[in-house]
Structure 1
Amino acid sequence: MSKESRVSGRYKINIPLKVTLIYAVVGILWILLSDRLLFSLVKDPHLASTIAIAKGWVYVAATAWMLFFLIRGNFRAIEESKEALRTSEERLAKVVETMADGLVIIDRDGIIVFANAAAENILGIARSDIKGKTFSDPAWRITRVNGEPFPVDELPFASVIRTGAPAYGIEHAIECPNGNRAILSVNATPLRNTSDSIIGVVTSIRDITERKRAEDERRERRAHERRIREEAEKAKREFYKGTIFSVTDGKLNLVSREEIERQLAPDARRVELVDGDSLTAVRVAVDRMAASVGMSEDRIYDLVSAVGEAAANAVKHANGGTALIGIRGDNIQVCIEDHGSGMDALVLPRATLMKRYSTTTSLGLGYSLILASVDTVYLATDRHGTWVLMEKSIMARQREMSLEALPDTW
């Protein structure tokens, strides 16, 4: 019971008690003092006795008249309260009977003692059959939404009795007597007496079967649309991959990040690309590594030019990145990884093949120069950034690709 309720109860008891005590004190004082005053003023005993009797009748009549008005007012207030209570109960009953959600009251022992019309419709059982059943009666065939068993101690009633706190939005499924399966969302709150002890649980039940079905359909539709987009994107990339591979005579390969990681030399040196000094550092590192294995000056110049172009692209247009420099087999490998947003598949053909094509993620002649300067390029790009792995053999190969051989348009 709340503090306000206890204070209100004491107030209602104290007022009548105080009135009664005041009446008793006034009555006693009236009898004692009025008699003394009377006998001090009237010396004739017979006359004094007659006046005392009359005084008593006047007191009785006055108090009776006062009690009449008090009792009549009290009865009138009681009748008005009864009428207000009856009106309130009728209004509440209409609300309960016409509400869309089911309302079920369960006593402390788990027995259903009340169910409204909506509960009858949702549960598919007549109210006369609902009353008297337990909250976990096997007739409900309660399961989780996915069909798995629903532990009894996790049901709303058990949760409220165990914790003393309301439970909201608990979802489970039931199988109705007509064979239909319904998914319910249940709220439950404790019902307490004046001593603040739980004497039952009030539960509201909402049938969310159609909502769940609509959510499942939307989820399946989104998944289907996502699969279609992914398949279309995959087909588009495969087409571009094959086309670009053919147009570049096998020099430019569109691959995944994982494929590039598998291609990389395991002991590659790492250089962070953040500013102009780091661009110089990566060029110097490539130059020294290539010279240390006997690569010719012309080939070193081409390789350093390609690496510088890719590294500058990462710093200027993609928030920096990382260069990995190593040797694998008879090839010098340099991989530039940037922190940009990647290139859209529709842009790839122009960005990699068209001379002077430029966007915020490509540098005009950048890829054309790279393709003309190295033997093989592996390119991976997605929304997390772009990886460009460049390979150039230490010793010259018979066939070289010139910048002029690249197509001007897609």
Structure 2
Amino acid sequence: MEKARRQQSGVREILEEAQSGKIYDVYCVPSGDQVSVIFFDVTDILEYEKRQEERVRNLYREVIYSVTQGKLLLVEQKEIELLKTGVYISSHPILTKTDVASCRRQVQEVLESRPLPSKVRYNILLGTSEAVTNVLKHATEGQMSLYMVGDHLRIFVSDNGSGIDLSELPRTTLMAGYSTKHSAGWGFYLLLKVMDRIVLSTSSQGTTIMLEINLVDAPEKAATDNITTLKEGNVHYA
């Protein structure tokens, strides 16, 4: 109220009542020395919107999982944290372009002791670069961490960005070349070609992606030459 009186302009705030947990949309409208306060209980509306968002997210989760034949799974952050099992190898912060090359080197050190086809080795490093580069595009900082679970290498890349908008998820993850300021463009299409499994968690608090590949039975991945050439032209390993 004091702010509205001082500025002599309308002020809107969202307030939550501590005891009841109810949420109010409050408007303060000044008129000289007087301030009129109008408030609406929006608790039920917000709960409804939350339930609707959960329904849509679950629908997208099922569709994306089905279309990618189980290779891409959309989960909550707490679910992806449970996948950080097995043997912890290393981690690296993602703050500047030089961290792209540093993260690649950490992954390369893991791959050096494995008898992998050169194309598979290249594609794993390419996928790592893509995931780390997206952190620099869409957030201010992030982190990569590596785990070995049996013969499977798991690469976790997280950031503190605003996440992928719910309405953009299907196109961002399934359409080759689709890109917005919040999406990876060719990223997911490429990653689905070169990785065995991808697990994604995204919200307004940030995004975490897990890339998984079997290092023992890793087949030659089907990334086509034109996809590889495109990425080589766009990613700079400073």
Return the TM-score normalized by structure 2: 0.73
Match of 1:285 in 2: 106
Counterparts of 1:247-258 in structure 2 under 5 Å? Answer: 247-258=67-78
Q: Is the 8 A contact 1:273 1:322 kept in 2?
A: yes
Aligned mates of 1:394, 1:318 — CA distance in 2: 30
Match of 1:323 in 2: 144
**What secondary structure is seen at the aligned counterpart in 2 of 1:364?**
coil
Match of 1:42 in 2: none
**What secondary structure is seen at the aligned counterpart in 1 of 2:158?**
strand
Q: Is the 8 A contact 1:372 1:402 kept in 2?
A: yes
Q: Counting strand residues as a fraction of each chain, which structure ranks higher? A: 2
Aligned mates of 1:354, 1:396 — CA distance in 2: 28
Q: After superposition, what is the alpha-carbon deviation per residue over 1:303-355, rounded to whole angstroms, capped at 9, x for unaligned?
A: 11111001001112222311111211221111110121001110001111111
Q: Counting helix residues as a fraction of each chain, which structure ranks higher? A: 1
Match of 1:391 in 2: 212
Structure 1 residues 376, 401: closer, same or farther in 2, change over 3 A?
farther
Match of 1:335 in 2: 156
Match of 1:346 in 2: 167
Match of 1:275 in 2: 96
Q: After superposition, what is the alpha-carbon deviation per residue over 1:131-180, rounded to whole angstroms, capped at 9, x for unaligned?
A: xxxxxxxxxxxxxxx9xxxxxxxxxxxxxxxxxxxxxxxxxxxxxxxxxx
Match of 1:66 in 2: none
Counterparts of 1:187-266 in structure 2 under 5 Å? Answer: 218-219=40-41, 222-265=42-85
Aligned mates of 2:66, 2:222 — CA distance in 1: 13
Aligned mates of 1:225, 1:397 — CA distance in 2: 49
Aligned mates of 2:192, 2:169 — CA distance in 1: 14
Structure 1 residues 368, 403: closer, same or farther in 2, change over 3 A?
farther
**What secondary structure is seen at the aligned counterpart in 1 of 2:60?**
helix
Aligned mates of 1:293, 1:370 — CA distance in 2: 21
Structure 1 residues 293, 357: closer, same or farther in 2, change over 3 A?
same
**What secondary structure is seen at the aligned counterpart in 1 of 2:167?**
coil
Q: Is the 8 A contact 1:368 1:403 kept in 2?
A: no
Higher relative CO (Cα under 8 Å, sequence separation at least 6) belongs to: 2
Aligned mates of 2:67, 2:77 — CA distance in 1: 22
Structure 1 residues 319, 403: closer, same or farther in 2, change over 3 A?
farther
Q: Is the 8 A contact 1:265 1:333 kept in 2?
A: no
Please tell me the residue identity of whatever aligns with 1:364: G
Counterparts of 1:95-114 in structure 2 under 5 Å? Answer: none
Please tell me the residue identity of whatever aligns with 1:279: V
Aligned mates of 2:143, 2:68 — CA distance in 1: 26
Structure 1 residues 259, 399: closer, same or farther in 2, change over 3 A?
farther
Match of 1:370 in 2: 191
What is the aligned counterpart of 2:127 among 306, 325, 328?
Answer: 306
**What secondary structure is seen at the aligned counterpart in 2 of 1:259?**
helix
**What secondary structure is seen at the aligned counterpart in 2 of 1:351?**
helix
Q: Residue 292 of structure 1: CA displacement? A: 2.4
Aligned mates of 1:252, 1:348 — CA distance in 2: 12
Aligned mates of 2:219, 2:62 — CA distance in 1: 24
Q: After superposition, what is the alpha-carbon deviation per residue over 1:354-407, rounded to whole angstroms, capped at 9, x for unaligned?
A: 111111222321111111110000000000111111000112357966569xxx
Q: State the Cα RMSD in Å.
A: 2.4
Please tell me the residue identity of whatever aligns with 2:192: L
Structure 1 residues 403, 231: closer, same or farther in 2, change over 3 A?
farther
Q: Is the 8 A contact 2:116 2:218 kept in 1?
A: no
Aligned mates of 2:131, 2:76 — CA distance in 1: 18
Count of aligned pairs between the two proteins: 189
**What secondary structure is seen at the aligned counterpart in 1 of 2:166?**
coil
Between the aligned residues of both structures, percent identity stands at 28
Please tell me the residue identity of whatever aligns with 1:249: Q
Structure 1 residues 329, 282: closer, same or farther in 2, change over 3 A?
same
**What secondary structure is seen at the aligned counterpart in 2 of 1:359?**
coil
Structure 1 residues 287, 372: closer, same or farther in 2, change over 3 A?
same
Please tell me the residue identity of whatever aligns with 1:227: E
Q: Is the 8 A contact 2:120 2:218 kept in 1?
A: no
List alignment gaps of at least 5 residues for structure 1: 1-145, 147-210, 405-410
